[in-house]
């Protein structure tokens, strides 16, 4: 089924692209969530108008993400955790926990935008990537320390 994208979607395309997807994916996900239009002549004209509006909105979002990236680059999170005698953590540091700690500092970052390859399970200093926009990522330092040393 040919559709026209209304949003930038990873692994599919950008705003205004005409792409061919499976019928079920279009009918059950893309169309109901407003992420795409059916590729008709009328829709192609409509997407041109909408594309201009969305590009303006995306540039504003990119500016916001850029300023947020600059603010986050100065952030160093310290997370105290209980540890075993060998220095391993009871539990682990996940993107959910990092998101909650950032929320305490008034940064509203969705846990899905925090890029951890795997949960942190040891003490130390870790660089964590945060995806703020399709083009903009930021790094923060996460210090995992022993709860008793705090």
| Assigned CATH topology for domain 73-149 | Ribosomal Protein L9; domain 2 (3.10.430)
| C-beta neighbour count of 106 within 10 angstroms | 7
3-state secondary structure of 100: helix
Q: How far apart are CA 6 and CA 106, in angstroms?
A: 31
Is 73-149 the same fold as 2-60?
no
Structure confidence at residue 44 as a pLDDT band (50, 70, 90): confident
First to last CA, the chain: 58
CA 37 to chain centre: 24
* pTM across the whole model: 0.67
Percent of the chain whose pLDDT exceeds 90: 39
Per-residue model confidence as pLDDT tens digits over 95-134: 999 999 999 999 999 998 999 989 999 899 999 999 988 7
Where do the structural domains in the chain lie, given as residue ranges?
Answer: 2-60, 73-149
Q: 87 near 66, Cβ under 8 Å?
A: no
With 80 as the cut, is the pLDDT of residue 54 above it? no
More confident residue, 148 or 77: 77
Q: In this predicted model, which residue has the larger pLDDT, 21 or 85?
A: 21
Altogether, the residues listed in the chain come to a count of: 150
Alpha-carbon span 6 to 41, nearest angstrom: 15
pLDDT tens digits along 76-100: 899 999 988 887 888 899 999 999 9
Tell me the CATH class for 2-60. alpha beta
Collect all residues with Cβ–Cβ distance below 8 Å to 17 and sequence separation of at least 6: 4, 5
| pLDDT at res. 150 | 64
For residue 46, pLDDT over 90 is answered with no
């Amino acid at each position: 089924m040919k559709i026209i994208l209304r949003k930038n979607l990873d692994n599919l395309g950008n705003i205004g692209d005409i792409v061919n997807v499976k019928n079920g994916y279009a009918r059950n996900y893309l169309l109901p969530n407003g992420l795409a239009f059916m590729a008709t002549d009328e829709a192609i004209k409509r997407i041109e108008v909408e594309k201009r509006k969305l590009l303006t909105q995306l540039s504003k979002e990119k500016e916001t993400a850029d300023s947020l990236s600059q603010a986050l680059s100065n952030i160093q999170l310290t997370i105290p955790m209980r540890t075993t005698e060998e220095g391993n953590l009871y539990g682990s540091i996940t993107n959910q926990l990092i998101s909650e700690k950032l929320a305490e500092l008034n940064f509203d970052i969705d846990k899905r935008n925090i890029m951890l390859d795997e949960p942190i399970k040891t003490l130390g200093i870790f660089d964590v990537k945060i995806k703020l926009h399709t083009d903009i990522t930021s790094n923060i330092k996460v210090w995992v320390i022993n709860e008793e040393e705090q």
